[in-house]
A and B are shown apart, each in its own frame.
Chain A
Amino acid sequence: MGLIDNRFEKNVLTTSVDWVFNWARRSSLWWLQFGLACCAIEMIAASMPRYDLSERFGMLYRATPRQADLMIVAGTVTKKMAPVVRTLYEQMADPKWVLSMGSCANVGGPFDTYAVVQGVDQVVPVDCYVPGCPPIPEGLYYGILELQNKVIKFETFAKRYGRDEAERERERDRQVARSAIAGTDAMIVSQSAGFGEPSDNSFPRAS
């Protein structure tokens, strides 16, 4: 990604390259195996031979959030479980999406009680809502296809804000990282070795 990033003007080639990346992202969404309640059984049934979510859509379930890019919240989120959901969400790496499956995850479902969070969107930002109680596996498919339509429109920072703004953002991130490690005795990479100025098209680039 860093190899060709920002090497070109904002032109058709960059846009197509973005499209290629987004196509790759949406065709192999790895979802976090995270079933809470009844909707989890329908999610499992969706990945079983009759509906076959995994093989047809390139979606593989990973047990660890570090390797997943989609979190399907299937089931009721209780107040005891909500911090866990947030922790898992924060452990996922960008770009990440959240799909809220079932009415419990959408709005709390039939449980308007003392122990239930009324919707997982009070805890994590949600990209797609799938209604149903539980949604049949074809309903989950519809939600995932809509999510894929959203993924294909996912833009990189450079495309949206322009190349210079992207570089300034990158410099700010680097400053933050440097100041975070300034106090420890880890090695600080020299600021000039191998890290060219934005207009320097040296190869390879660190992003």
Chain B
Amino acid sequence: MSATELDIQQSYGTLDVEEERQLSESKRQLVLNMGPQHPSTHGVLRVVVTMEGETIVGSDPIIGYLHRGVEKIGETRRYSQFTPWTDRTDYVAAPQNNLGYILAVEKLVGITATERAQYWRVIMAELSRIASHLVWLGTHALDIGALSMSLFCFRERELILDIFEKFCGARLTTNMMEIGGFSRPIPPGLVEMVESFLKIFPEMQQEYVDLLSANPIWLARTRGVGVIEPQAALDYGLTGACLRGSGINYDIRKAQPYLIYDRIDFEVPIGTRGDVYDRYLVRMEEMRQSLRIIRQCLDQVPTDGPLMRHDSNYCIPPHDTVLRTAEDMQRHFVWVVKGFNAPKGEVYVAIEHSKGELGHYIVSDGSAVPYRLRIRTPDFVNLQVLPHMAQGSMLADMVALIGTIDIVLGSVDR
């Protein structure tokens, strides 16, 4: 039969390589659906992969399976009420989401928190950065095949979740930041818990490094895989470890410092090649730098002083005076039931989230409810680079690529 009319159904054996090359594209390519329910996609991500043999020639991530309408909810809730929904966008690092939103509201109304509260905000944010990186490392290594890594990482994460539980009562969806600081005092024993975590964690991290960093299997599966060139990284709007792994130095904590990051001495790790291994190294080093930041914060934090600024219309009055004085009780009632009217205008505040740049854009029309609340999540923009990275790689690398972008579907879909 002629080569151009090779009909697969007629042939009962395998095809020669020459015959296969002469097949039309539609018969040669296979479209595979890595569906919403998949053990390796981190949540409900669906990737439709077009392959020739084992090589990926095209991929199309389909998201939206967790779209819950959080931005629409933001238009119906008052500023102080909206914080719990920010927890649920990126649920592995909830305090940082709270922080980003609260900073945006504070910029809108023009206040800053007290100094002691700012230090504690940084401590909580850095702890949640470590927690987020632990989830990333555990699931990333689990997908690639190092099954025991997930057990180790979640064991350390439990220590951090204990700290959160002592501080605010919840492990995962913390809802801890408030406009102007913190409304409840620091519980006794919390500083000791954080100190003991700082003592324990470096050895544990050394265990991960021993398991993975020089492991030939790990190197073979991550070196040279998923390379993003620096110019492509900027073009695709990547932020966070994806951008820094490609060699571009952009960390909002250094470039446009917020809270008290300008008083803290830390380094920003930058990669060289932009592959999965470099991003892994960048995130491991970020965990160590977070420990350094927490150490300095604990040394510098004022041990007494207010946690909440209480001379402003926009902040919740302190707990003890609400229960004792009439004026503060009235203020509390009005603040909770009616809310405050924010000034008219629009703000955009970006913080360095563990996954990249988390930005909140609030448009206010002068009422107690935001007019438009936009959450610019890092994963949503970072995920766009997946087809670019997957082009030409093998199907088995697809799980490594999805893992290295570090996505959380609640944050992608909101």
A residues sitting closer than 8 Å to B (CB atoms) are 33-38, 40-42, 44-45, 48-50, 63, 65, 75-76, 78, 80-81, 84, 88, 110-111, 113-116, 133-134, 136
Contacts and interface: CB of A to CB of B under 8 A. Distances in A.
A180 B91 CA distance: 48
Interface in B64-107: 64-70, 72-73, 84-85, 87-88, 91-92
B65 A84 contact: yes
Contacts of B36: 81, 84
A48 B72 contact: no
Contacts of B171: 42, 136
A86 B378 CA distance: 31
B246 interface: no
Nearest to A50: B158
Interface of B: 35-39, 43-44, 64-70, 72-73, 84-85, 87-88, 91-92, 135, 150-151, 154-155, 157-158, 161, 171-173, 409-410
Contact of B172 (A41, A63, A78): A41
B68 A40 contact: no
A37 B91 contact: yes
Contact of A80 (B67, B84, B161): B67
B155 A116 contact: no
Contact of A78 (B35, B65, B151, B173): B65
Nearest to B70: A111
Contact of A63 (B39, B65, B85, B410): B39
Contacts of B37: 34, 65, 84, 88
Nearest to A88: B37
A45 B158 contact: yes
A49 B153 CA distance: 10
Given A36-B65, A37-B43, A63-B39, 13 more contacts: A38-B410, A45-B154, A45-B161, A48-B151, A48-B158, A50-B154, A50-B155, A78-B64, A84-B35, A84-B44, A84-B65, A113-B69, A116-B69
A75 B72 CA distance: 19
Of the candidates B35, B135, B158, the one having the most CB atoms from chain A within 10 angstroms of its own CB is B158
A76 B154 contact: no
B43 A35 contact: yes
A34 to B, nearest CB: 6
A115 B410 contact: no
Contacts of B64: 78, 80
Contacts of A75: 66
B155 A40 contact: no
Given A35-B43, A41-B135, A84-B65, A133 B173 contact: yes
A33 B39 contact: yes
Listed from nearest, the 6 A-B pairs whose CB atoms lie closest are A113-B69, A38-B91, A48-B154, A63-B39, A111-B68, A81-B65
Given A84-B36, A113-B72, A45 B157 contact: yes
B354 to A, nearest CB: 14
A75 to B, nearest CB: 7
13 contacts: A37-B91, A38-B87, A38-B173, A41-B91, A41-B135, A45-B161, A48-B154, A76-B66, A81-B66, A84-B44, A113-B72, A116-B69, A134-B172
Of the candidates B44, B64, B85, B151, the one having the most CB atoms from chain A within 10 angstroms of its own CB is B44
Nearest to A85: B37
A122 to B, nearest CB: 16
A78 B67 contact: yes
Nearest to A47: B154
A49 B151 contact: yes
A2 B44 CA distance: 39
Contacts of A115: 67-69
Nearest to B40: A63
Given A50-B155, A84-B37, A110-B85, A37 B66 contact: yes
A80 B409 CA distance: 14
A87 B90 CA distance: 27
Nearest to A38: B91
Contacts of A48: 150-151, 154-155, 158
A136 B37 CA distance: 23
Contact of A38 (B38, B88, B150): B88
Given A37-B410, A88-B37, A80 B72 contact: no
